[in-house]
Amino acid sequence: MTAADLPGSVPAAAWVRRHLQYEPRDASLFEQALTHRSAARSNNERLEFLGDAILNLVVAQYLYGHYPEADEGALSRLRAAVVSGASLARIAAALELGPALALGAGELKTGGFRRESILADAFEAVCGALYLESGIDTTRSTLLRVLAPALAELDASAETTPAGQKDAKTRLQEWLQGRGLPLPRYQVVQVEGESHAQTFRVSCDVEAVKASAFGEASSRRRAEQAAAQQLLAQLGL
């Protein structure tokens, strides 16, 4: 890791210009959004609270318009796939958010800038700051551009799932929960190819029933779905 990769090595305003394609009027607002509570009393927790609501609104509105046949439950599952902590952390990592973070000494020492929760929370805080400064219209257009890869992946996945049918991961989870069993564990076991054309191999393990399966696809999420589908087939479901 070079010095340019370390937290705090990229000014907040510069990060916003480069990755959000937005010119901030109040750089201090975005500095606060990218400041973890371990670094200062004036941190991003309040902005995170606001940004969480704004992000959910933008994604919910997108899904409502793009999936007219989906019921409330299906829309909720689709939204969760985009705004979950793990998903937001991947988006934040792709936006190279880590070097723009301000962290306390303890978090720096333990690699907090790689932690999913910190990355996801900071991204939500940025959403809040963007909304406060620019309003909902600019925030919506900016977020939809940033979220475009995750939304496109969601759209492609939905095309393979018949209307009204739950996806494989959801069906497997509900089957296990209905029997009081632990949830499956997904793990990326191999990634091949260049960054623009990767193939992910993911394992799905359910220790309670001594079953495991593998799935391969062009994204981690699709590979997880493929692995869950294989495991459902093993269980005769």
**Tally of domains in the chain:** 2
User: What residues have CB less than 8 Å from 198, skipping those under 6 apart?
Assistant: 191, 192, 218
For every residue of 88-112, which 3-state class applies, written as one string? HHHHHHHCCCHHHCECCHHHHHCCH
Q: What six digits make up the tokens of 156?
A: 């492609």
Q: Of 125, 96, 130, 118, whose CA–CA distance to 38 is shortest?
A: 118
- What is the reported pLDDT for 35? 93
Residues 142 and 53 both lie in one domain = yes
Q: Which of 48, 52, 153, 224 is catalytic?
A: 52
52 is catalytic: yes
Residues 178 and 154 both lie in one domain = no
124 is catalytic: yes
Residues 73 and 177 both lie in one domain = no
Residues 144 and 187 both lie in one domain = no
Q: What is the CATH number of the domain that holds 215?
A: 3.30.160.20
Q: Which amino acid is at 126?
A: V
Residues 32 and 129 both lie in one domain = yes
Q: Is the pLDDT of residue 128 over 80?
A: yes
Q: Is the pLDDT of residue 195 over 70?
A: no
Residues 172 and 141 both lie in one domain = no
**Separation between Cα atoms, residue 237 and residue 228, nearest integer Å:** 11
Give the mean pLDDT of 154-162: 57
Give per-residue pLDDT as tens, 16-72: 999 999 999 999 999 999 999 888 788 999 999 999 999 999 999 999 998 887 888
- Domain around 200: 168-234
Q: Are 32 and 24 in contact (CB under 8 A)?
A: no
Domain boundary among 137, 159, 181: 159
Residues 132 and 76 both lie in one domain = yes
Per-residue pLDDT band for 158 (boundaries 50, 70, 90) equals low
pTM above 0.85, yes or no: no
Give per-residue pLDDT as tens, 205-227: 999 889 999 988 878 888 888 89
Q: Are 85 and 116 in contact (CB under 8 A)?
A: yes
Domain boundary among 113, 134, 159: 159
Residues 187 and 213 both lie in one domain = yes
Residues 133 and 153 both lie in one domain = yes
Give the mean pLDDT of 127-143: 96
Q: Which of 31, 107, 121, 124 is catalytic?
A: 124
**Separation between Cα atoms, residue 6 and residue 102, nearest integer Å:** 10
**Separation between Cα atoms, residue 123 and residue 192, nearest integer Å:** 28
Give per-residue pLDDT as tens, 73-124: 888 888 988 998 888 998 999 999 988 998 888 777 766 667 888 899 999 9
Residues 173 and 153 both lie in one domain = no
- Kindly compute the dihedral angle of the four CA atoms of residues 101, 106, 109, 111, in this order, to the nearest 10 degrees: -50
Residues 44 and 142 both lie in one domain = yes
